Chain A
Amino acid sequence: MPRRISINHDLCRGCNLCLEMCPKQVFQESSEIGAAGFRLKQVALPDECTACGLCELYCAGAISLEPLPPEEFADIMAQEERRTSTGQRRGGWKEVDSLLEPGRYFMAGNEAVVEAALAAGCEFFAGYPITPANEILEGMSRRMGETGGRFIQAEDEIASVYMILGASWAGLKAFTATSGPGFALMQEGLSLADMAEIPCVIVNVQRAGPSTGQATRPAAMDMREARYGSHGGVQRIVLYPDSVQEVFDMTIEAFNLAERFRTPVILLSDGYLSHLAEKVAVSGCVKVFDRIYVPGRPAFGPTSDSSVPSMPRFGDGENVVATGSTHDVSGKRSTTNPTVQENLVFYLNRKILEHREELVDCEELFLDDAETAVVAFGTVGRSAKWAVKEARKLGRRVGLLRPRIVYPFPSQRIKELCRTVNQFVVPEMSQGQMVHVVSEKVARDVVSLPQPNGQIIDPRRILKYLVEGVW
């Protein structure tokens, strides 16, 4: 009985596998040369065919063997096209009850990260041991067990970050915690999170580097890395609290920002803040944001108004294509088109920067009439606050600007200060990193007070500079 075999010459790649592999030599080359420049194949001996199926398993889709009746196949295809998402519209702001009893707690910085992550609705953690972030790993291991979340100790920090990205696509709020060497290993994955718009939180408990440096000692040496460490270098949101209360509050904020902007958010801490124990007030109700999903909407930018696109989760039936390659709004890769590439990069920056006014969050002290402004970040802010208050007692017109949100950098705010301020002083637990950012923004004298010795800065040192000009 002759088999119904046909060849779609548009799909034939000319590999000759049908000729060579058919046990019955059903196929032959014709004398006709096709558009692609090779001899067309033809079904020469349909009667010999046993429908073994080898040809179609080898072929790049050109061979059709014993097709269904056309109407039947058309039905199947129509059914397929009618299938739509099984998900429901979801996401946005909501208020949830605190997991912890409301009240005042005494906890260390790393503990506060753990409790706040749970409060923010985090249900997935993957991490790898590293000092001084271990209490977060151990705390999440214990607390995920108690709350029904998922915890994985990964084989390294590279795996950690990809695990949380996978979990994020499964719809869970996910984070990891690390320190300098591990943070460096995570940069590749964070770049993917930028590009594929994957919400996640990374806590970097900074320690003194470079390299292994002094593992137990605090530093603020990853300030620029947090913003620019990944290839591509698109806009990042970076937070750096200065007290355990702020660690708690800003960990929740980090999750909310990650979900709102579909972006990795870096929460910086350090070897001091991680082990500093202070009082933390926990309220009974937590305001959290969940990523927004609207069935059927494109899952990726660019959006015309730089708004954040709908984020389905895997299993919603959207057939999401999430990729780190340049892509269109459906996720389809577009790896050579310059317009698609440029629009995507501008969009990834814009979706955050168009909200930069709202993302200004600074502690300010005595800035109304300050001639000298100390600009400090995170833990150094505690030293700076002490020093500025003491200097005021001595009649010095000094003030403090401490951006809690480090990036996007509060450029506008710092420019406004130039009305009264003629000198900016930037003490840092590093060789001087953020001082360059301040210098870029203001046409004023900008002084670096670097201290890369693995210690928190003695506030009396800052005071001495403010009073005597000596560092």
Chain B
Amino acid sequence: MKKEVLFSGKGGQGLGVMGRILALAATIEEKEVASSSSYGGEVTGGLSQSEVIISDEAIDFPSVLDPDILVTVSQDSYDQLISHTDCRALLFCDPGLIDPDHNREGPGLILIPAAEQAVENFGKSQFANMIMLGAVVALTQIVRPESVAQVIGQEFKAKSPELNQRAFAIGLRIGGEASQCPVGDLANREH
């Protein structure tokens, strides 16, 4: 098994953290993992990407070539990914931040209103990344939810692990509900 995951958005949306949490969770599960991120010169606002490859075997090339899972949380990154990638991947979008192209063909466009849920539950969009990650984990089973919860506990030790764990749990729930529907229907249901 080898999965390539690409998180894409703007600087400041916590994409690096999403990648890191996912990568660490896979590390707990004794998988081979490579994770990298790229960013523009600006700390916030520039195009930002975070990549995670999780594999049962040694990873020769550590960057994403043919993503299995795409997560995009800004219009610019969405537009760029749509024009540059083929349609094999599962594409997670935040409909509150992106106006997706419904004509896209492929296995699935999954709309997760993470930012909206974050504001609803926590009063700020800061927790959207963990909600989105929860949904990704629920829908793809790329790692076990317990592994992620454990990593969040470690990584946010000094900050607020509980809130982040709650956000992740909300994401898991949203993802779990979404998985009840066929993927195509899911996309249609949201609009």
Which A residues form the contact surface with B (CB < 8 A)?
Answer: 104, 106, 215-216, 243, 272, 275-279, 382-383, 385-386, 389, 456, 458-460
| Interface size range of chain B in the complex | 20 to 34
Are the CB atoms of B65 and A277 closer together than 8 Å?
no
Q: Could you say which of B23, B32, B38, B62 contacts A382, with CB atoms under 8 Å apart?
A: B62
Q: Which 5 A-B pairs have the closest CB atoms?
A: A386-B61, A386-B60, A277-B35, A276-B36, A106-B27
Q: In this complex, what residue of B is CB-closest to A242?
A: B62
Shortest distance from the beta carbon of A461 to any chain B beta carbon, whole Å = 11
Q: How far is the CB of B51 from the nearest CB of chain A, in Å?
A: 9
Partner of B23, one of A275, A277, A385, A460: A277
Q: A386 to chain B: which residues have CB within 8 Å? A: 60-61
B60 touches A389 (CB 8 A): yes
Any A CB within 8 A of the CB of B126: no
Q: Can you spell out 10 A-B residue pairs with CB atoms less than 8 angstroms apart?
A: A106-B33, A216-B40, A216-B41, A272-B36, A276-B36, A277-B20, A278-B33, A278-B62, A458-B65, A459-B60
- Tell which of A106, A277, A459 touches B61, judged by Cβ atoms closer than 8 Å: A459
Q: Assess A216 versus B39: contact at CB under 8 Å? Given A106-B24, A106-B33.
A: yes
Which among A215, A216, A275, A383 is the interface contact of B36 at CB below 8 angstroms? Answer: A275
**Contacts A106-B27, A216-B41, A459-B65 known; A278 to B34 CB distance under 8 Å?**
yes
Closest chain B CB from A282 CB (angstroms)? 14
A-side contacts of B24, CB under 8 Å? 106
B37 at the interface (CB under 8 A from A): yes
Beyond A216-B41, A275-B38, A386-B60, 10 additional pairs, beta carbon < 8 A: A106-B27, A106-B33, A272-B36, A276-B36, A276-B62, A278-B59, A278-B62, A386-B61, A456-B63, A459-B60
User: Do A215 and B23 touch (CB < 8 A)?
Assistant: no
Alpha-carbon separation in the docked complex, A447 to B63 (Å)? 25
B33:A279 contact, CB within 8 angstroms: yes
**Cα distance A106–B155 in the bound complex, in angstroms:** 12
Q: Complex: how many Å from CA A356 to CA B65?
A: 38
User: Could you tell me if B35 and A276 are in contact, using CB atoms closer than 8 angstroms?
Assistant: yes
How far is the CB of A93 from the nearest CB of chain B, in Å?
31
- The residue of chain B having its C-beta at the shortest distance from the C-beta of A379 within the complex is B62
Bound-complex Cα distance A275 to B68 (A): 22
Q: Out of B27, B60, B61, B62, name the residue touching A104 (CB < 8 Å).
A: B27
* Chain B residues within an 8 Å CB radius of A106: 23-24, 27, 33, 35
Closest-by-CB residue of B relative to A276 is B36
In the assembled complex, the Cα of A104 lies from the Cα of B34 at a distance in Å of 14
* Contact, CB under 8 Å: A383 / B61: yes
Closest Cβ–Cβ distance, residue B43 to chain A (whole Å): 11
The distance from the CB of B174 to the nearest CB of chain A, in whole angstroms, is 28
**B5-43 CB contacts (< 8 Å) to partner A:** 20, 23-24, 27, 32-41
Q: For the complex, give the distance between the alpha carbons of A458 and B59 in Å.
A: 15
Which residue, A106, A277, A389, has most C-beta atoms of chain B within 10 A? A277
Q: Which residues of B contact A276 (CB under 8 A)?
A: 34-36, 62
Distance of A247 from chain B, by nearest CB (Å): 12
Q: Chain A residues near B39: list those with CB within 8 A.
A: 216
Residues of A with C-beta under 8 A to B38:
216, 275
Chain B residues near A104: list those with CB within 8 A. 27
Chain A residues lying within 8 Å of B35, measured Cβ to Cβ, are 106, 276-278
Q: Within the assembled complex, what's the spacing in Å between the Cα atoms of A278 and B27?
A: 9
- Whole-angstrom CA separation of A216 from B20 in the bound complex: 19
Whether A382 pairs with B61 at a CB distance below 8 angstroms is yes
Rounded to whole Å, the gap between the CB of A219 and the closest CB of chain B is 14
Q: How far is the CB of A185 from chain B (nearest CB, A)?
A: 21
A275–B35 Cα distance when bound, in Å, is 8
Give the Cβ gap from B141 to chain A, nearest Cβ, in Å.
21
Closest to A389 in B: B60
Q: How far is the CA of A383 from the CA of B37 in the complex (A)?
A: 17
A277 and B36 in contact (CB under 8 A), knowing A106-B27, A382-B62? yes
